[in-house]
Amino acid sequence: MKITTINSELLAAISAAIAVRAIVSLYSYSGQGKPPMYGDYEAQRHWQEITTNLEPKDWYRNTNDNDLLYWGLDYPPITAYHSYLLGIIANKYNESFVDLTKSRGVESEAHKIFMRLSVLFADIVIYLPALIVLYLVIVNQQSKKSLLVYLIPMILYPGQILIDNGHFQYNNISLGLFLFAIAAICKEKHYLGAFVYTLALNYKQMELYHAFPIFIYLLRTCFDQKSYSQKIKNFLYIAGIVVSTFVILWLPWLGSLSSILEVVGRLFPIGRGVFEDKVSNFWCVINVVYKIKNKLLNQQMAMLCLGVTAAFVLPLNVHLFFNKRKETFLLSLVSTAMAFYLFSFQVRFIS
């Protein structure tokens, strides 16, 4: 097949993906017209309100102006910075969108358009390009068949569209960064892959689901270097990229241990229990017949989840370490993420 034909069909597929997302965006979102919390749409708007009006040190802290019981920020710093950027734009467009405390429950048509476009923009700039790049990297042949079999199902995946463009989330950003990272690693751009994955992890902590295979694969690349000094050098470069990226992103909260713990406590809320909403994972199913959530303390439940998750995850990744192939790496990403979803603590419905 000629490359021009592929390009035209690829363009048609992307256009269809954008059109479907735009159509879904026209409908209601979860929590619309349902006070006092209004759903995740209001949560995202509220984070714009908080980050725009308060100092970073107060973003994750309970204060008179930041009631953590009302959609307190519980995602990593890049989500907060993204909310801040959107809040600045919203404030320029209409101050009432992010007016501190007074903007709660804003549901005007103008605001809905602004919020929906912000998700669609992330799809166009990050998520869809990431899928295309990964497709071009992993799929060796560029043909009409490979386009139909691999790319189109990914860009039209209903789960992502309904949650982000319908329910209302920005999973497209963390997923897009993750996909870019995997594409970079598969192209042997290990430093770039480590950096971009660190960005994904600092947008949503759920990217921890993919941490083990990425760590093991990159660690194995260090062991595969010819000389001992080269092994150490490669490891230190990757570790330096990850640590320095974390330091830069977390800088506003590194002034005191209490500030760090406040952020960590919001990201990993043990007190919420093993699950909040109904999710199709192992613990939620078991809880139907045996109320394990009520039988064990949260700390005990967390340790049980850790042990069971590790029992499923470690063999997969030990195998990856001794069988470092791209196919094994990709399968391990899927299997490890599934194990985390089924058995880890505090699984959310958007996982």
pLDDT band at 3 (very low <50, low <70, confident <90, very high): very low
Q: Using CA atoms, how far apart are residues 96 and 87, in angstroms rounded to an integer?
A: 11
121-125, 263-267, 298-302: range with lowest mean pLDDT: 298-302
- Give the mean pLDDT of the chain: 91
DSSP 38: -
Q: Which residues contact 48 (CB under 8 A, 6 or more apart)?
A: 83, 84, 86, 87, 90, 97, 98
Nearest CA to 316 among 333, 300, 297? 333
pLDDT band at 277 (very low <50, low <70, confident <90, very high): low
Give the per-residue pLDDT at 295.
Answer: 85
Q: Is 349 a residue whose pLDDT tops 70?
A: no
DSSP 54: S
Q: Using CA atoms, how far apart are residues 233 and 220, in angstroms rounded to an integer?
A: 13
C-alpha pair distances (Å), 253 with each of 44, 256, 285? 21, 7, 38
Q: Determine what percent of the chain is predicted with pLDDT higher than 70.
A: 94
Q: Is 94 a residue whose pLDDT tops 60?
A: yes
Three-state SS letters, 93-138: HCHHHCCCCCCCCCCCHHHHHHHHHHHHHHHHHHHHHHHHHHHHHH
Q: Is 99 a residue whose pLDDT tops 90?
A: yes
What's the mean pLDDT in 175-204?
A: 97
Three-state SS letters, 169-217: CCHHHHHHHHHHHHHHHHCCCHHHHHHHHHHHHCCCHHHHHHHHHHHHH
- Furthest-apart CA pair in the chain: how many Å? 63
pLDDT digits (tens, 9 = 90+) for 297-344: 888 888 999 999 999 999 999 999 999 999 999 999 999 999 999 998
Are residues 293 and 300 in contact, defined by beta-carbon separation less than 8 angstroms? no
Q: Using CA atoms, how far apart are residues 83 and 77, in angstroms rounded to an integer?
A: 10
Which class for 9: exposed (0-12), middle (13-18), buried (19 or more C-beta within 10 A)?
middle
Give the per-residue pLDDT at 143.
Answer: 62
Q: Using CA atoms, how far apart are residues 218 and 194, in angstroms rounded to an integer?
A: 8
How many helices (H) and strands (E) are present in the chain, helices listed first? 17, 0
Please tell me the number of Cα atoms within 13 Å of 68 on its side-chain side: 15
Residue type, position 159, single letter: G
Compute the CA torsion angle 189, 195, 197, 200 (nearest 10 deg).
-140
